[in-house]
Amino acid sequence: MGRTVFVMAILLMFAAISLVTARYQSRQLFIEREQLVSQFNELDVVWRNLQLDRAELSRNARIDQIARDTLKMQPIAPARTIYVREAPGLPAGGG
Amino acid sequence: MRRFSFFDSPVVRVSFPTWRARLVLLVLGLAFLVLLGRAVYLQSVNREFLQEQGGKRFERTLPLPATRGKVVDRQGVVLAASIPARAVWAIPEDTKSATAQQWAKLSELLDMPEAMIKARLADDSKTFVYLRRQLSLALVEQVAALRMPGVHSLPETRRFYPEGEVTGTVVGFTDLDDLGQEGIELTYNDRLSGKPGSRRVIKDRLGQVIEDVRAVNLPVNGQDIELSIDTRIQYLVYRTLAEAVQFNEAQSASGIVVDVQTGEVLALVNFPTFDPNDRSTLRGVNLRNRVLTDTFEPGSILKPFTMGLAMALDRIDDNTKIDTGRGEVVFHGERIRDVSKNGVLNPMGIMVKSSNIGMARISQRLEAQEMWTQFTALGFGQPPVIGFPGAAAGRLRPWERWRPIEQATMAYGYGLSTSLLQVAKAYTAFARDGDMVNLTLIKRKDLPATIPVYDASVAQTIRDMLEASAGPEGAKLAQVQGYRVAGKSGTARKIINREYSQKFYRSSFVGFGPVSNPRVVVAVSIDEPMAGHYYGGRVAAPVFATVMGRTLRMLGVEPDAPFDSEVVAQTQSESGSRP
């Protein structure tokens, strides 16, 4: 009788302590997760901003202006274009 | 001496009455019973109340806002996207203790005069006053660093439109609360918005989240909308129209580019327009989407449809001779004029010379009901299904009430009204062997629905006429190097005070190309050109040519017309000069 009580008491103690540890670990993991989620959100914001920056830099109006004014480029015209037809097979060689 | 152990000592041996021990046991037992009773009371009877109170003290519901979807063009270029921003707000009474230095710094950061901020916070009875909204996170961090009493911030989102005024007409804009107000943002508000979620959490003394109480209700982010617009073509049209408005001293201009095969709208532009990033430009006139909401009497650009009908019903053929006289006839008591004296013309000649008299004569061979049925089939007088707010139906009166003169004028585009979009859509019938394609602003994943309106042979004949109309005999400014194009110019007098004005015109040009295998329909309209010229062939045709030529090149369409190549000549001369 006495021995059973003793074993039960030890088991109870063990269960109680493992409960405490499990709770502690779950808190720790939860906090870690929260931090990762907020990091994810921050990175998402950064990504969005970068995407907008890219959109801003590749804006048609900007590229058009740089091409015309800074680089002095001209719109393409058929007269200044060579139209290359896809060759039907391998070239005969020589060339 | 006899020795006793302590407990055996007769001195300490006192006998107590048994009831005393029993009493102690009873009292202790009762005490435990009371505790047990209390525990049962708290755990079962009073449980709900206590849990509720506990929840009130530590549990919080956090809203999880959904992010509004992006609007992208057909190549995935971002046209509208939301980024987190913050609103700065204040409790007027609490700000009283702020120092002068804090006030000055705040006014500098918010870019608002100090007096203006103070005026807003004058009413102490208020508990919430917005100071400035849609500020960047970095700026609000600086505001927070001031540690100014009573000044707080709230998360919100801000919408950015990288292409600004180029795509403003199509994309539209949202209000401060992220609700669509115009354009695609309004039409597809439900799909873009998404559903906000929430989570129930336990917070500790410091306000940090330590546990989720129940499963997180995740937010559903808004869907992205993929438009049929090609930003490169959109920009090209925008720039060309802006130049045309300036060059012609015009009131406004609008243009639309449609993919003939899929019915997708590749560009839809109004000028002047608004920049959705700059709220000061969001004013009445600029907001109007003229391509869709403005209806006008189309004038000559409607002639091919009447011509096509007369051909389809065999009332005329290629060789029918029609006398257009000396350029002016009286028709049911009204004068109809042509720009020039043309004498006897065949249908091709009527189209190339754009003879009003010729069209009136053709209309005599048609019934009013036949014309009405054809125009209705082409979508005139009916609201177009395009999924855009405010698309106008135009006006086409029932045929029973047409007077004979009206039937004649309708043959050449007066007496009914349409929007530019409707005209562009109707022209796809000629570009596509007689079946008209449904237009869309959303990128198509499957084949479009088409409505047959003409026989393929009739469409082919009209296509030839339209090619001649845009040729050397007709509106030659519409010609494009390297491509065969077809189209019709139109010059419509505007109605000012119920009379046709002699001064205000609307010049338009609608056409398609390349004729050998049409890819795009381009429709442009210049409103009230005042720089001397007003004929569609003079004002709108060059705009059409620029847009058509560059669009076809951007789409990589192979030229179908002969042209002199400078590059080949150069290469040959180079190779010839080699030893």
- Residue B575: predicted pLDDT: 46
Q: Is residue B30 part of a domain?
A: no
CA-CA-CA-CA torsion sign (B378, B509, B352, B338) = positive
Active site residues of B: 300
Select the residue of A31, A52, A75 nearest B160 (Cβ to Cβ).
A52
Select the residue of B84, B234, B567 nearest A81 (Cβ to Cβ).
B567
Contact of B326 with B355, CB cutoff 8 Å:
no
How many beta-carbon pairs below 8 A join chains A and B? 75
Tally of domains in chain B: 2
Contact assignment for A55 to B166 by CB distance below 8 Å: no
Residue B499 is part of a domain; what is its CATH number? 3.40.710.10
Q: How far is residue B371's CA from residue B380's CA, in Å, rounded to a whole number?
A: 11
DSSP sequence for B93-114: GGGGG--HHHHHHHHHHHTS-H
- Whether B184 and B251 map to the same domain: the answer is no
- Whether B362 and B423 map to the same domain: the answer is yes
The residue to which tokens 């869907």 are assigned: B223
Tens-binned pLDDT, residue by residue, of chain A (95 aa): 789 999 999 999 999 999 999 999 998 998 898 899 889 988 988 888 888 888 888 888 888 889 999 999 888 777 777 777 776 655 544 43
Contact assignment for A55 to B563 by CB distance below 8 Å: no
The residue to which tokens 């789409």 are assigned: B555
User: Tell me, what's the ipTM?
Assistant: 0.71
Asked if the model's pLDDT at residue B193 lies above 80, the reply is yes
User: How far off is chain B from A4, nearest CA to CA, in Å?
Assistant: 26
Q: Is residue B44 part of a domain?
A: no
Q: Is residue A85 part of a domain?
A: no
Kindly state whether A73 is in contact with chain B, defined as any CB-CB distance less than 8 angstroms: no
Q: Is residue A87 part of a domain?
A: no
User: How far off is chain B from A92, nearest CA to CA, in Å?
Assistant: 21
Contact assignment for B565 to A31 by CB distance below 8 Å: no
Contact of B490 with B299, CB cutoff 8 Å:
yes
Domain boundary among B183, B201, B226: B226
Residue B138 is part of a domain; what is its CATH number? 3.90.1310.10
The percent of residues above 70 in pLDDT, for chain B, comes to: 97
The Cα angle at residue B540 between residues B538 and B541, in degrees rounded to 5: 70
Tokens matching residue B201: 């959490």
CA-CA-CA-CA torsion sign (A44, A47, A53, A54) = negative
- Whether B107 and B248 map to the same domain: the answer is no
Q: How far is residue B39's CA from residue B349's CA, in Å, rounded to a whole number?
A: 105
- Whether B79 and B205 map to the same domain: the answer is yes
B71-72 vs B225-226, strand pairing mode? parallel
Q: Which residue has the higher pLDDT, B521 or B474?
A: B521
How large is the average pLDDT for residues B180-197? Answer: 89
- Whether B256 and B202 map to the same domain: the answer is no
- Whether B488 and B518 map to the same domain: the answer is yes
Highest mean pLDDT among B23-37, B86-100, B378-392, B473-487: B23-37
Q: Which domain holds residue A46?
A: 2-76
Q: Is residue A91 part of a domain?
A: no
- Whether B221 and B249 map to the same domain: the answer is no
Radius of gyration of chain B (CA): 39
How large is the average pLDDT for residues B163-190? Answer: 88
- Whether B183 and B298 map to the same domain: the answer is no
- Whether B174 and B271 map to the same domain: the answer is no
Radius of gyration of chain A (CA): 36
Q: Is residue A55 part of a domain?
A: yes
- Residue A91: predicted pLDDT: 52
Select the residue of A56, A75, A78 nearest B559 (Cβ to Cβ).
A78
Residue A88 class from Cβ within 10 Å (0-12 exposed, 13-18 middle, 19+ buried)?
A: exposed
Cis check: omega of the bond before B514, within 30 degrees of 0: yes
The Cα angle at residue B292 between residues B237 and B528, in degrees rounded to 5: 65
Tokens matching residue B533: 């010229």
pLDDT in tens, B410-425: 999 888 999 999 999 9
Alpha helices in A1-95 (DSSP H): 2-57, 60-65
CA distances B188 to A52, B75, B130, B170, B441, Å, are 21, 19, 29, 12, 11
Q: Which domain holds residue B485?
A: 231-281+290-554
pLDDT in tens, B516-561: 999 999 999 999 998 888 888 889 999 999 999 999 989 988 888 8
pLDDT band at B576 (very low <50, low <70, confident <90, very high): very low
- Residue A94: predicted pLDDT: 42
Considering the entire predicted model, what is its pTM?
0.81
Q: Is residue B11 part of a domain?
A: no
Chain CA centroid to CA B113, Å: 36
User: How far off is chain A from B188, nearest CA to CA, in Å?
Assistant: 21
Q: Which helix (H) or strand (E) holds B243?
A: helix B231-248
Cis check: omega of the bond before B272, within 30 degrees of 0: yes
- Whether B198 and B267 map to the same domain: the answer is no
Q: Is residue A6 part of a domain?
A: yes
Phi-psi region of B381 (alpha: psi -120 to 50; beta: other; left: phi over 0): left
Q: Is residue B36 part of a domain?
A: no
Q: Is residue B9 part of a domain?
A: no
Q: Is residue B459 part of a domain?
A: yes
pLDDT band at B574 (very low <50, low <70, confident <90, very high): very low
Contact of B478 with B466, CB cutoff 8 Å:
no
Q: How far is residue B238's CA from residue B256's CA, in Å, rounded to a whole number?
A: 10
Tally of domains in chain A: 1
**Can you tell me whether residue B88 is helix, strand or coil?**
strand
Q: Is residue A89 part of a domain?
A: no
CA distances A47 to A40, A52, A53, Å, are 10, 9, 10
Contact of A88 with B492, CB cutoff 8 Å:
no
Q: Is residue A88 part of a domain?
A: no
Kindly state whether B231 is in contact with chain A, defined as any CB-CB distance less than 8 angstroms: yes
Q: Is residue B569 part of a domain?
A: no
- Whether B276 and B211 map to the same domain: the answer is no
Q: Is residue A25 part of a domain?
A: yes
- Whether B439 and B346 map to the same domain: the answer is yes
Amino acid in position B148: M
